[in-house]
Structures are given as C-alpha cells and as structure tokens.
Structure 1
Amino acid sequence: MAAHADFVTDSKLNLGLRTLYYDNDYRDNTSGPSRTAELAQGFKLDYQSGYTDGPVGVGINALGLMGVTLDSGRGRHQGSSMIPSDGDGPADEWSRLGVTFKMKASKTELLAGTLFPKLPILVANDGRLLQQTFQGAMVTSSELDGLTLVGGKLDKATGRGSTDRTGLAVGGGREQSDSFTFAGFDYKLGSNLLLQYYHASLKDYYRQDFIGAVHTLPIGETQKLKTDLRYFRSRAQGANADGQSGYQVAGFTQDGDGKIDNDTWSATFTYTVNGHSLLAGYQKVSDHSAFVQPNQASLGGGVEAAGSSTYLYTDRLASNFTRAGQATRYAQYGYDFAALGVPGLTTSIMYLDSDSIKNAKGGDQREWERDLSLGYVIQSGSFKGLGFVWLNALLHSEAVPNQSQNRLLVTYTLSLF
C-alpha cells in the first residue's frame, strides 16, 4: 500500500496552453517563399508519476502534444516551420504521444523513452508551437556533492512541427544515423564556479568534445559579473570522414567535400545590477566547416520537421551565426521591472554583428541581427501564471535572404492534479 501511495500521491498532471502567431517576412527572397504568417493553438498534456517505494523506485511519464491551426492559408503557409502540410496547404491539426519509463535509486535516475534533453551537446528545440522530442535513454547521477554525471544514447527525433519520427543527422545530411551517444559532467566548485565537460558521438557524422566554465563574481550586495567560456571541438567520423554520399554537412567546407572539421569557442560576460543586465561577448567558428549538432532538416520530412537548437549565445530568432569562419560580436541589454515594483515584466534588446563567413565562391560574407523581446507574466489573482510575449527579429545577411520576424505568444499552465 505504501508503494502504491507514493506512486499515486506524488503524481502530477498539467495542461500547458500555448497560442502562437508566427510571421516571417523574407523580404527580397527570390528562390523560395516571400512570407509565412500563421496562428495556431498548442496543447501539452504532461503527466509525471511519483516513484514506487523501495531501494529502486519506478515510475512513468506521459506527454501528449497537439496543435490546432487557427489561421493560415496556401499563400501564407509555404515554407512554414510551425504547421505541418496536408497536401498543398496547412494541416487542420496534428498530434503525438510520448511515454517515458523511469527508475530511481538514491540520487541516480534512468529515463527511457521520450526525452527532451538540455545539454551542451544537444538542446531540444522549443521555438515554435510544439517542442522537439527525442527517443532513447539517459542516466543522471548526483551521488557526490557538487558533481552531476550524465550519459545516454538516442536514436530517433520528432521535429517541432511534425508527427513523424526520423533518424538523426546534421544540417545537409540526407542519410539517417541511428546512434547519438553522449557522456559528461557538471562540477560545482563552491557556489560561484561551474566546470563542464561532455563528449558526444553521432554515428557516421561526427564526434564532439565540449569544455565549459561559468564563474559568478559578486560585487557588493546588488551587483555581480558572470563569465561564461565555451569551447567545442568537432571532427568527422564514419561515413562523413570517408566522403560517402549523403553524409555531407551543409555549407562551406575546406576541400568542398562536406567533411566536418570545426572548432568553435566563445567568451561571454554579463553584468547585473538593480534589475539591469548588460551582456557582451565574442564567438569564433573555425574556417574548415560549420559548427554542428544534431539537425534533421535535410532528411526529407519537410520544413516543419526541421528546427534545431544549439548551446550557443548566438542561437537567436532568425540565425545562429555558426557558418564556417564566422566571427561574431554580440551585446544585449535587459531589464527586469520588478526593480521598479512591476514583477513579471521583462524586456531585452540584443545586437549581433558578424563577418568572415566562408563561401564556395571565395570572399567573406557578413550578417547582423537585432532582436527585441517584451514579456509579462501575471503574478497573482485568478489568471496567475498567464504569460504574454512579443519577439521581434531583423536579419540582414549576405549568406541568406534578409528577414523580418515577429512572434506573439500567450502561455498558461493549468494544474489538473
């Protein structure tokens, strides 16, 4: 009876609601859609059980995702990255279900099934109506104070606007890999320093090492300076290293053979005081190929199956500034209006400027992006937790068509039990 009580009474069921209006104007694009503009409603039913009693507890999580088209059309859907296609127009609705089995002993947990990792070597994308999910198994252990160990293997992914699972690849790769393995650790030295190391391997594409360090320096009682250093080393393996057709990475490569050979590093500094935050940083991508992490965009599932995130400060609304050779300087100012007695209201503006992008025709290209955000979450009353967000991006690029993008989001999570 005790085991049953723990499993049931610790269970949670939440219904997440997300309304998203997504408008992307490609301005002078001549080789694809000139504009996409759509409105959709997302539902996320998230069940998480407790654990059974005993030295090894077991449980189950279940995730139901559904999207409903509210406003779209043939002329505004082409090239959509939010709503899947049905024939030559948008689907009326789409959905998927994920189940995750879990086991826990002491401070070690195993998850197997549907996962949405957030690690330096893989970040599940949540930039549209429904989140991207992966299939596989993952172990997290925090038995030693300050040290968290992580390891796992993934073999499938489902895109943020898709109902279909695919294998794994990189941007440009047309052949599926069935194995992404990873292991690493986060180690906290005191309360102000975090050290990280991760190794990942995407079979037939690349192996990657990540080293990171985050330090927070208190300055008096109300100020602090955070330093965030990141370095990725990515090298070809398997079919990509052998030059087999279909396993090439997109974009410029040193010998034009699509082989992965990349080093990417960044240094970012954030100063905060009394609600103000000022961020400045620099990122450099080496010349031989673009930065890589899993990206299923080229596997043939349509634009809606694409979409990936990276563990980089330059992973922005319109671009991620990861092309071969790209050197990016970036700065952001943010303000939390809680300092003025308006909790829940935040805003920020970010500017990124880059050059030295390599291209097959020779010469270097440039691009810049300016992002704005404004958000408010109701803090009390009947609508506590109801959130409103406006995101705006302007991209000028010599590598891709210029873009002007707006996203309007309304979010709310209802606790069912």
Structure 2
Amino acid sequence: MALGPVLPLSANADFITDSKLNLGFRTLYYNNDNRDNKTGPSKTQELAKGLKLDFQSGYTDGPVGFGLDALGLMGITLDSGKGRHVGSTMIPSDGDRAADEWSRLGLTFKMKASKTEVLVGTLAPKLPILVFNDGRLLQQAFQGAMVTSREFDGLTLVAGKLDKVTGRGSSDRTGLAVGGGREQSDNFSFAGVDYKLGSNLLLQYYHASLKDYYRQDFLGAVHVLPIGDTQKLKTDLRYFRSRAQGANASGQGGYQVAGYTENGDGKIDNDTWSATFTYTVNGHSFLGGYQKVSDNSAFVQPNQASLGGGVEAGGSSTYLYTDRLTSNFTRAGQATRYAQYAYDFAAMGIPGLNASVMYLDSDSIKTATGSDQREWERDLSLGYVMQSGPLKGLGFLWLNAKMHSEAVPNQDQNRLLVTYTLSLF
C-alpha cells in the first residue's frame, strides 16, 4: 500500500492484480515412542494447529520489476503436558511445559529482470546442498539472499548467501551450524547449475560453504527412460564430497561435528554417494537403491540442533532418499539398501488417494563403541486429498515409522495430519 503513491498506475496494477494470498491450516498429532531411551525422554505426544498466511505479490511494470512477499506462521498448542513435552521437536518450551502459542513473520523483497530473479529476506531453499525442513507443524525458514537465472533454455543458475535460520518449532533466529556444532556460523554461501539435456536428462553441480565448518561439492544426474505409453524408468545418481574448513579443520572447540570421526577430533571428511532406480507403471511405483557414507565422518548439511536453543530450534532435511521419519542413515561408514512400493489409486478411479511402504536396512555404522553396527527403518504412508465439493483440497495423512538401531535408541513414531489451504485472492 505504501508503494502505491510512488508507482505508475500500470505498475501498481501488476503488483496488486498478480498477487496471491493463501491461508493454510495444518493440524498435527505427533507421537514418538522412545521406550528404551535410558538417558532422555521415553515418549513425546502432542497435538497442535498451525496457521500459514502466505502473500506473494506480483511485480511492478518495467524492465526491472519489484515485489514483496510475506509469510506469517503461528502455532497453537491443543494438547500437551509436562510428561509428554520433554524432548519435543514440534512445540517450543515455556519453562518445562509446552508454550500455548508461538508465531513469526518473514518478509522477502524480490526483483526480476528478464528471466533472472533476486530474493532477499526470508527464504525456503530446496536445493541439493540445502533443503528447508517442513516435517512438523511450522516450516523452517532461512534469512539471506538468493538469485536464480533462467536466461538460457535448459540452463538454471543459482547462487546465494544465508546467515540466519529459524527452526521449525521456534520463533527465534540463530546462526548456522552442523549436527554437534556448538558455535554459530553466519555465512552459508552456495552456487550451482542445473542443465537439462532434452526432456529426459538433468545434470547438476553445486558448491556450498559453511564458514568454519565445511565446504561441499555435489554432482547429480537424473534420467527418465519412457517405456511405451504407461511405463518409465527413472535413474537418480548423487554424489557429495564434504571437507573441513576454518575452525573445524584446525580442531577448535565448539566447531566439531557429532558422531564418529577418524581421529576423534570432530573433523569433517566425508564422501556420500547413492544410486536410486524407480519403475512406474499404471499407478504402481517400485523404487530401489543403495547409499554409502564414507568412514571418516558423518554426512553433513546445516543443522542447528546443538546450538543451545532447544531441540525445537533444530531439525533439518537432506537431499537424500534415506532422509526418513526417524533417521537419515548418514552416520560414518553407513551402507544402506532401500526399497519402496507406492500406489496412486487414481489408476483405480480414486484420485487423491495414495499409499506407500518403504524399508531401509543398513550396516557398517562406525561409532565410538563399534565399527559394524546395524540400523533399519520401516515407513508407512497413507494419504487422501478431497477432489471436489465445498471441502476440495482438504487433506488427511497418516505416517508411521518403526526404527531399530544399535547406534541410537529404537523408536516408534506416528504422525496424523489434516491440512487445508484457503485461497483468499
């Protein structure tokens, strides 16, 4: 509104008429059973409602357009308790109990020229070297700047720098770190390229650097092979190379990564690769793959759980097929075989209904107490989104996981979600 008096009429019209405002609702019941955890909480059980007000403006007219996005998030506790909240990763704490409500607001200023867009402010990256986490009630949000250019057909260039992050269960911003890191870094810089060859092959390269922790290179290739009119085979190859830098390389206290490292010094030195194949036909999807983490340290990407803001300030996602409900299978030495079957019931005339089951089995985990520990996880998913009527878009999702590990306590987890998005304009 403040921009209105200083913008030409046509620019004001584009800025407003191309704008979108959505109000999202998410209700989440979260139950994590840690029965054999001898040193921490044995069970977390909570129910909360999340509200997401998402405004995306259009661009002003002219060779360089300007815009403004706003993201308002609010969580409301519906059911919790002192004995069921300890160790919560969903609701922030108020003393030793769950907070009644929490909220945050993020603004993103944007500029666009031709096919190049610059974003400054609140960001939700979804890149191989950084994936924002949306696995609880409210999404994780980063602060910084990012530019994306698609000036040439088939070529996408990305670069940016981030300095702050707000955890999925928090209202407070922190710096960045890795799992186990107790010191904040204010500089995560990255650049990358996606190159699409024809309609079936995507090649990727990304480089990222988290100051005083690590530098990381990513190479990826995705190929889709059509087989007739109703079948296809997707091949997805990924490789990450992560090396220590700055304080982590010099062994300074507080900058060490968690888990096993070769010399016990917390230094990052890791190679992780995976190969995944997915065959789809008539609603059926069969996925199989293998992932290997090298021996010297765990796989790393930004994770703020150890910075002292409480576990609700943590939470991270990784660009790995093994990033699951209870584990991500990224410990030093870990070798994981995984398979998934999914079915889209639209093939049977029931659009909106989907189900899947995934099983992951790993060995060769290195820890301080052993070099060949095992871990497995089984995940179930059943979801339905209403396709018509006054409640079109109302979604229901049940997620269930069972994880057994020799490296960490076993877990049984259930999540029930009800979601709905209302378009206001």
| TM > 0.5 fold call | yes
Task: Determine whether 1:177 maps to 2:185.
Answer: yes
**What does residue 290 of structure 2 align with?**
282
- Equivalences for residues 282-321 of structure 1 within 5 A: 282-321=290-329
C-alpha deviation, 1:363, in angstroms: 2.9
- Structure 2 residue corresponding to 1:323, chosen from 331, 353, 359: 331
**What does residue 124 of structure 2 align with?**
116
TM-score normalised according to structure 1 size? 1.00
**What does residue 12 of structure 2 align with?**
4
C-alpha deviation, 1:86, in angstroms: 0.2
C-alpha deviation, 1:293, in angstroms: 0.2
**What does residue 134 of structure 1 align with?**
142
**What does residue 93 of structure 2 align with?**
85
C-alpha deviation, 1:361, in angstroms: 2.5
**What does residue 272 of structure 1 align with?**
280
Count of matched residue positions in the alignment of Structure 1 and Structure 2: 417
**What does residue 249 of structure 1 align with?**
257
**What does residue 58 of structure 1 align with?**
66
| Structure 1 runs (4+) greater than 4 angstroms displaced | none
C-alpha deviation, 1:28, in angstroms: 1.0
**What does residue 363 of structure 1 align with?**
371
Deviations 1:235-278 (A, max 9, x none): 00000000000000000000000000000000000000000000
**What does residue 109 of structure 2 align with?**
101
Q: Give the aligned residue type for 1:105.
A: A
Provide the rounded CA distance (Å) in 2 between the counterparts of 1:362 and 1:25.
25
Provide the rounded CA distance (Å) in 1 between the counterparts of 2:19 and 2:32.
40
Q: Secondary structure at the match of 2:58?
A: coil
Task: Determine whether 1:42 maps to 2:32.
Answer: no
**What does residue 36 of structure 2 align with?**
28
Deviations 1:101-138 (A, max 9, x none): 00000000000000010000000000000000000000
C-alpha deviation, 1:362, in angstroms: 3.2
- Equivalences for residues 173-212 of structure 1 within 5 A: 173-212=181-220
**What does residue 421 of structure 2 align with?**
413
- Structure 1 residue corresponding to 2:159, chosen from 129, 151, 158: 151
Provide the rounded CA distance (Å) in 2 between the counterparts of 1:79 and 1:213.
38
Q: Secondary structure at the match of 1:142?
A: strand
Q: Give the aligned residue type for 2:27.
A: T
Which has the larger displacement, 23-32 or 118-127?
23-32
Q: Secondary structure at the match of 1:346?
A: strand
**What does residue 16 of structure 1 align with?**
24
Q: Give the aligned residue type for 1:29.
A: N
C-alpha deviation, 1:315, in angstroms: 0.1
Calculate the aligned-residue CA RMSD, in Å: 0.4
Q: Secondary structure at the match of 1:258?
A: coil
Q: Give the aligned residue type for 1:194.
A: L
Task: Determine whether 1:238 maps to 2:246.
Answer: yes
- Equivalences for residues 341-352 of structure 1 within 5 A: 341-352=349-360
C-alpha deviation, 1:29, in angstroms: 1.0
Provide the rounded CA distance (Å) in 2 between the counterparts of 1:164 and 1:409.
25
Provide the rounded CA distance (Å) in 1 between the counterparts of 2:199 and 2:239.
22
Q: Give the aligned residue type for 2:23.
A: L
C-alpha deviation, 1:414, in angstroms: 0.2
Q: Percent identity?
A: 84
For structure 1, list consecutive stretches of 5 or more residues without a partner in the other structure: none
**What does residue 267 of structure 2 align with?**
259
Provide the rounded CA distance (Å) in 1 between the counterparts of 2:330 and 2:96.
32
C-alpha deviation, 1:27, in angstroms: 1.5
Provide the rounded CA distance (Å) in 2 between the counterparts of 1:76 and 1:126.
22
**What does residue 5 of structure 2 align with?**
none
Provide the rounded CA distance (Å) in 1 between the counterparts of 2:306 and 2:220.
30
- Structure 1 residue corresponding to 2:402, chosen from 384, 394, 397: 394
Provide the rounded CA distance (Å) in 1 between the counterparts of 2:96 and 2:191.
42
Deviations 1:45-101 (A, max 9, x none): 000110000000000000000000000000100000000000110000000000000
Provide the rounded CA distance (Å) in 2 between the counterparts of 1:297 and 1:87.
18
Q: Secondary structure at the match of 2:370?
A: coil
Q: Give the aligned residue type for 1:84.
A: P
Q: Secondary structure at the match of 2:356?
A: strand
Provide the rounded CA distance (Å) in 2 between the counterparts of 1:249 and 1:292.
8
Q: Give the aligned residue type for 2:303.
A: N
Q: Secondary structure at the match of 1:32?
A: coil
**What does residue 4 of structure 2 align with?**
none
Provide the rounded CA distance (Å) in 1 between the counterparts of 2:59 and 2:240.
37
Deviations 1:347-399 (A, max 9, x none): 00000000000011233110000000000000011000000000000000001
C-alpha deviation, 1:166, in angstroms: 0.3
Q: Give the aligned residue type for 2:22.
A: N
Q: Give the aligned residue type for 2:127.
A: L
